[in-house]
C-alpha cells in the first residue's frame, strides 16, 4: 500500500514574535495551515484548523485506508474546521476576522488527493523536476490568471500576499476548497509549505533542497534557506516520500501553533479513535 514517509519542520523566523503556522505529518495525512497575515488570532485559526482536520481524518482511518472517499473526507474536515472557527469567534469577539490557509494531502493506499485554499503550497518533485500542484488564492494570482500582469511584476507586487480565499470564522462564505486527485508514483516526493518559504526561496532553491536523499535533511535545508534569505515570516516545510509498505499504526506529528492546546478552540470537538 502507498503511504507517506517524511518529516516536517517549522520555525518562527527571524522577525515574527510567535508562530502562526500549524502542521500535521502522518503516514496517511499531512497538512499545513497558516494564519492569514494581519488578521486577528491567526494562530488560533491555524491551530484549530490543523487539529480538526487531522482529528477528523484519523477518526475515519481504518487499517491504512479511510472509510470515506478522500475528497469527501477533506471537504467534511474543512467544514468542521470552519464550524469550530465560527464557534471560536462566538465565545471571544477579539477573534473576529481570524482566518487561515489550508493545504492538506491524504493517501488512501492507492491515490493521493489534495485539498487546498489560500496561498500555502504543495509541490510534486519527480525525477529532478518540480511542479506546483496547488493554485494560489491571492489577488496577484488572480491578476496573473487574467493576463493583467507578468510573473516578473507579480514577484514584487505589494499585494502578492493578499489572500482572497481562506477558511475563516465569519460563517458567511461557504467552504471553497480546491480538491484535486494527484497522480503519484512510488518514489515521488511532495512538499507542503507556508508562504514563509516560497516568498524567499525560488523554484531552483526548492528543487536543490528536495534533491537531498533524506526527507528530514531536505526539510531542514529548506528551512535554513528561508532563514538565510531573511526569515521575515514563519517557515513551515513538510517533505513526504511516497513509499510502498505495510500498514503503519500511529497518529502523527503536530508542529507549530497546533502543538499548544491553548491555541485550539475546542480540543474536545473531535475525538480520535
Query: Residue 13: is its pLDDT beyond 80?
Result: yes
Task: Please classify residue 76 by burial: count the beta carbons closer than 10 Å to its beta carbon, then call 0-12 exposed, 13-18 middle and 19+ buried.
Answer: middle
Average pLDDT over residues 81-91: 96
Q: For 87-146, write each residue's pLDDT tens digit.
A: 999 999 999 999 999 999 999 988 999 999 999 999 999 999 999 999 999 988 888 878
In angstroms, rounded to a whole number, what is the distance separating the alpha carbons of residues 74 and 72?
6
Grid coordinates in use for 39?
A: 488578521
β-pair type (112-117, 178-182)? antiparallel
In angstroms, rounded to a whole number, what is the distance separating the alpha carbons of residues 160 and 153?
10
**51 three-state secondary structure:** helix
* Angle at which helices 70-91 and 42-59 cross, to 10°: 140
Query: Average model confidence (pLDDT) for the chain?
Result: 93
Cell 500535521 identifies what position?
24
In angstroms, rounded to a whole number, what is the distance separating the alpha carbons of residues 141 and 135?
8
β-pair type (167-168, 178-182)? unpaired
The pLDDT value given to residue 271 = 57
In angstroms, rounded to a whole number, what is the distance separating the alpha carbons of residues 54 and 70?
13
Give me the phi and psi of 253, to 5 degrees please.
Answer: -115, 130
Query: Residue 156: is its pLDDT beyond 90?
Result: no
The pLDDT value given to residue 209 = 98
184 contacts: CB under 8 Å, gap ≥ 6: 2, 111, 112, 124, 190, 242
Half-sphere exposure of 73 (CA within 13 A, CB side): 27
In angstroms, rounded to a whole number, what is the distance separating the alpha carbons of residues 197 and 215?
16
Average pLDDT over residues 49-67: 92
Query: Residue 155: is its pLDDT beyond 80?
Result: no
Strand order in the sheet with 129-132: 2-11, 235-244, 189-193, 121-126, 129-132
The pLDDT value given to residue 273 = 41
Confidence of residue 38 (pLDDT cuts 50, 70, 90): low
Confidence of residue 166 (pLDDT cuts 50, 70, 90): very high
The listed CATH number (3.60.40.10, 3.40.50.720, 3.20.20.70, 3.90.330.10) that belongs to domain 2-259: 3.60.40.10
235 contacts: CB under 8 Å, gap ≥ 6: 9, 10, 11, 13, 21, 193, 194, 196, 197, 222, 223, 226, 227
- Asked whether the CA dihedral 13, 16, 18, 20 is positive or negative, the reply is negative
Average pLDDT over residues 195-204: 96
In angstroms, rounded to a whole number, what is the distance separating the alpha carbons of residues 209 and 213?
9
The pLDDT value given to residue 88 = 95
In angstroms, rounded to a whole number, what is the distance separating the alpha carbons of residues 120 and 118?
6
Lowest-confidence segment of 53-57, 97-101, 171-175, 232-236 by average pLDDT: 171-175
Percentage of the chain beyond pLDDT 90 is 79
Amino acid at each position: 500500500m502507498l503511504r507517506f514517509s517524511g518529516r516536517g519542520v517549522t520555525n518562527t523566523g527571524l522577525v515574527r514574535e510567535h508562530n502562526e503556522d500549524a502542521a500535521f505529518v502522518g503516514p496517511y495525512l499531512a497538512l499545513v495551515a497558516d494564519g492569514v497575515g494581519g488578521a486577528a488570532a491567526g494562530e488560533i485559526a491555524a491551530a484549530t484548523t490543523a487539529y480538526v482536520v487531522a482529528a477528523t481524518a484519523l477518526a475515519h482511518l481504518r487499517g491504512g485506508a479511510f472509510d470515506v472517499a478522500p475528497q469527501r473526507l477533506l471537504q467534511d474536515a474543512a467544514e468542521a474546521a470552519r464550524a469550530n472557527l465560527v464557534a471560536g469567534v462566538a465565545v471571544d469577539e477579539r477573534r473576529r476576522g481570524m482566518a487561515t490557509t489550508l493545504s492538506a494531502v491524504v493517501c488512501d493506499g492507492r491515490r493521493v488527493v489534495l485539498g487546498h485554499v489560500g496561498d500555502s503550497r504543495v509541490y510534486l518533485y519527480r525525477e529532478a523536476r518540480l511542479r506546483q500542484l496547488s493554485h494560489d488564492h491571492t489577488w496577484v494570482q488572480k491578476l496573473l490568471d487574467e493576463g493583467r500582469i507578468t510573473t516578473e511584476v507579480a514577484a514584487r507586487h505589494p499585494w502578492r500576499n493578499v489572500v482572497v480565499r481562506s477558511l475563516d470564522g465569519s460563517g458567511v462564505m461557504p467552504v471553497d476548497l480546491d480538491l484535486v486527485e494527484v497522480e503519484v508514483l512510488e518514489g515521488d516526493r511532495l512538499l507542503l509549505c507556508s508562504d514563509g518559504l516560497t516568498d524567499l526561496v525560488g523554484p531552483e532553491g526548492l528543487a536543490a533542497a528536495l534533491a537531498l536523499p533524506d526527507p528530514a535533511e531536505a526539510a531542514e535545508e529548506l528551512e535554513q534557506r528561508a532563514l538565510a534569505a531573511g526569515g521575515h515570516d514563519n517557515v513551515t516545510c513538510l517533505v513526504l516520500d511516497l513509499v510502498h509498505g505495510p500498514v503503519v499504526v500511529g497518529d502523527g506529528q503536530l508542529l507549530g501553533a497546533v502543538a499548544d492546546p491553548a491555541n485550539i478552540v475546542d480540543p474536545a470537538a473531535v475525538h480520535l479513535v
